[in-house]
Amino acid sequence: MNLSYLHRLSIASCLLLLALQGLAQTASEWAANPSLHQIKPGNANENAVVILDQRKHEFVADEKEGIVLYTSMHKIIRVIKEQGVEMFNKIYVSVPYDAQVKEIKARVITPSGKVVLLPAEKILDEEDEGRLYKKFALEGVEKGSEVEYIAVMKRGSSFFGLEVFQSPVPCEEARFTLSVPDHLVFTCKGYNGFVMDADTVIGEKRITNGVCKDIPVIENEKYAQTAPYLKNVQYKLSYNLSKDKDVRLFTWNQLAKNVFDRYTKLEEKEVKAVAGFLKNIKLNADDEEAKIIALEDYLKNNISINEEGLSDDADLIEKIVKTKVASHEGFNTLFAACLQQLGINYQLVFPSKRDDIPLDEKLENYRLIENPVFYFPGTGKYLEPTNISFRYPYIQPSWAATRGLFLQNTSIGNFTTAYASFKNIAILPYEQSSHNMEVKLSFNSQLDSVLMHSKQIFTGYGASMYRPAFHFLPKDKLNEFTQELMQSVSNSKNIRNIQVANGAFADGYSNKPLTIEGDISSAELFEVAGNKILLKIGDVIGPQVQMYQEKPRQLPVSIDYPHALDRKIEVTIPEGYTVKNLDDLKFFITEKANEEGTMGFISSYKVDGQKLLIDIHEYYKETAYSMQQFDAFQKVINAAADFNKVVLVLEKKK
């Protein structure tokens, strides 16, 4: 769901329940006579270090505008190396869409103690990919200097907050303060080591403080997601002591009811518009899954989703079916209305994404609620309505193998509503998502070229990642795409007879394998050394990732989806030659010795006359592996990379 609806909902509700007393906006202050700080010895070799990152959110009653939120950010950064100079001689301050910048000031304290103030006219507006920033270049930034800046903004009131404190440089001290009227009780919680104290009433304010010291940098690591592990603070309004003090506000159940009503309580004109729209779709009257597939295909092929420059009409069903243009919210509403009229039982689900800050089941932060997916109890499968690159039953992999907020329907007499329940969102088992290969390889009669027929076979998520290319790319770009894919397993551009099968979105519904195959002639796959032929058999499976840790691993392993990679390679050995190092093809690297476990790289071979048959089974049955499993995971990944290096020695028989 587009967040605008939830924001409007929270503001409207709170305007009814709050009777805020005036609060004085806290002035932003910095030291009148600044001096350089002593940084901790452990940070001396960093490019830069944040000495202080102090943020405050204060809710204020405005006579004209009602409830507003003032946010302030105060940062002090020591620049240590030249790269640190490049990082902080220009500052970008993000400006939310609903914010007014009330104050920005900045200064540089040089190593000699000179203070260089930022002139106000040097603060410029910047826009990048639809996001607004205040940008300013600072004079006097050099190694050993400190950069200090303060930004204060006034925002429309939303009683849900999130502040993330981890950055590309370490932070010695981070602080967060939430200040609200004393009759309001917020739930405020720190994550991943950020500690929030219990709230304290001081005068007419209820204040919650938190601090986190010595925040390290989270390095970018292969097969890892950083967002779930970032130190952050979240809050939401939970109680109003001046009215119904024991009633918890903004619960997951309240969200479920409100969203359910938004999607299902349609006006008569909307019902008629949906009925007319459905007449355009050929539907199987008896097969629920066939109806879901046909409806999704028609909607995604005939309704354009466009958030740019749209009026409120893009949220209205009766307008969407005429203009064929919708916002995300409007598209979801139309989709749900169609399902409802077709009598298809569905539930809305808000996933907790594996590549983002996760939902907390005990802290109802509506700010983390974004686009929903549909869950169909009748089939046990999911559909992502606004993602045109995915089709039922696939949703983005990071939205599965996680928890999700399910909005489950319930009826009491003639009254129907929904309640919230957190459940697991299943992902396809590893056997159903694959990138397999079948390769037949031989030499030409002159022994100066390798002739190869390579067939790549994708199923499940493996196929869903490639099918959009066959739907959206123009023909010339599609040819480039398939050529590059074939070239990756041969190091050769001499590729002919490329054939693709089952590339349509419709082929994914029943998990038909997407196949891409062709004939390749390559002089790059072998070398001649005297009476020996060195065959680079490892290159036939394509380039593999290598993992070597120069620093201690910080995060557990995360992979997109469980999958298997089965490769069958048939090599015709030239007459008069024998392979001297066949045992180099043997690998048995698994999670546990002599056991298959949840991951592995297993390679074996057999010789049948002049045929060398190589069988490789690589698999990852889970999406997540703990720190205790990391060494095993690294060995499996590196086994595939080591196979890349295998060169078979073909020697003339004596």
Domain boundary residue among 425, 441, 475?
425
CATH number at residue 211: 2.60.40.3140
State the DSSP code for 313.
G
Regarding whether 278 and 207 lie in a shared domain, the answer is no
Per-residue pLDDT tens over the stretch 212-223: 999 999 999 999
* Amino acid at residue number 425: I
Regarding whether 178 and 48 lie in a shared domain, the answer is yes
Domain boundary residue among 407, 425, 443?
425
Q: How confident is the model at residue 157 (pLDDT cuts 50, 70, 90)?
A: confident
Identify whether 246 is part of a domain: no
Identify whether 234 is part of a domain: yes
Regarding whether 282 and 208 lie in a shared domain, the answer is no
Kindly tell me if the per-residue pLDDT of 494 is higher than 60: yes
User: Which position has the higher pLDDT, 5 or 479?
Assistant: 479
Residue 493 vs residues 270, 482, 523: alpha-carbon distances, Å: 56, 11, 10
Per-residue pLDDT tens over the stretch 536-570: 999 999 999 999 887 899 999 999 999 999 999 99
Regarding whether 410 and 434 lie in a shared domain, the answer is no
Q: How many domains does the chain have?
A: 3
Decide: pTM greater than 0.75. yes
Q: How confident is the model at residue 15 (pLDDT cuts 50, 70, 90)?
A: very low
Model pLDDT, residue 199: 97
CATH number at residue 298: 3.10.620
State the DSSP code for 363.
B
What is the pairing mode between strands 146-156 and 611-620? unpaired
CB 293 within 8 A of CB 338: no
Kindly tell me if the per-residue pLDDT of 12 is higher than 80: no
Regarding whether 411 and 282 lie in a shared domain, the answer is yes
Kindly tell me if the per-residue pLDDT of 110 is higher than 70: yes
Three-class secondary structure assignment of 169-226:
CCEEEEEEEEEEECCEEEEEEEECCCEECCCEEECCEEEEEEEEEEECCCCCCCCCCC
Task: Compute the C-alpha angle 626/631/632, nearest 5°.
Answer: 85
How large is the average pLDDT for residues 95-119?
Answer: 95
Kindly tell me if the per-residue pLDDT of 19 is higher than 50: no
Model pLDDT, residue 549: 80
Identify whether 608 is part of a domain: yes
**Segments forming the whole domain that contains residue 236:** 3-30+37-240
**In angstroms, how far is CA 605 from the centroid of its own chain?**
39
Regarding whether 512 and 582 lie in a shared domain, the answer is yes
Regarding whether 393 and 452 lie in a shared domain, the answer is no
Identify whether 553 is part of a domain: no
Regarding whether 179 and 124 lie in a shared domain, the answer is yes
- For residue 492 the two structure tokens come to 């050769």
Kindly tell me if the per-residue pLDDT of 5 is higher than 80: no
Q: Which helix (H) or strand (E) holds 593?
A: none
Regarding whether 576 and 438 lie in a shared domain, the answer is yes
Q: Which helix (H) or strand (E) holds 407?
A: strand 402-412
Regarding whether 141 and 14 lie in a shared domain, the answer is yes
Regarding whether 90 and 207 lie in a shared domain, the answer is yes
221: number of CA atoms within 13 Å, CB side?
24
Which candidate, 215, 170, 172, 217, places its Cα nearest to that of 191?
215
Tell me what the pLDDT averaged over the chain comes to: 93
Identify whether 215 is part of a domain: yes
Cα-Cα-Cα-Cα dihedral sign, residues 453, 459, 462, 463? positive
Domain boundary residue among 240, 267, 290?
240
Which candidate, 393, 370, 534, places its Cα nearest to that of 463?
393
What is the pairing mode between strands 146-156 and 131-137? unpaired
Model pLDDT, residue 21: 42
Q: How confident is the model at residue 132 (pLDDT cuts 50, 70, 90)?
A: very high
Identify whether 245 is part of a domain: no
CB 526 within 8 A of CB 535: yes
Kindly tell me if the per-residue pLDDT of 448 is higher than 90: yes
Identify whether 287 is part of a domain: yes
Model pLDDT, residue 310: 65
Regarding whether 324 and 221 lie in a shared domain, the answer is no
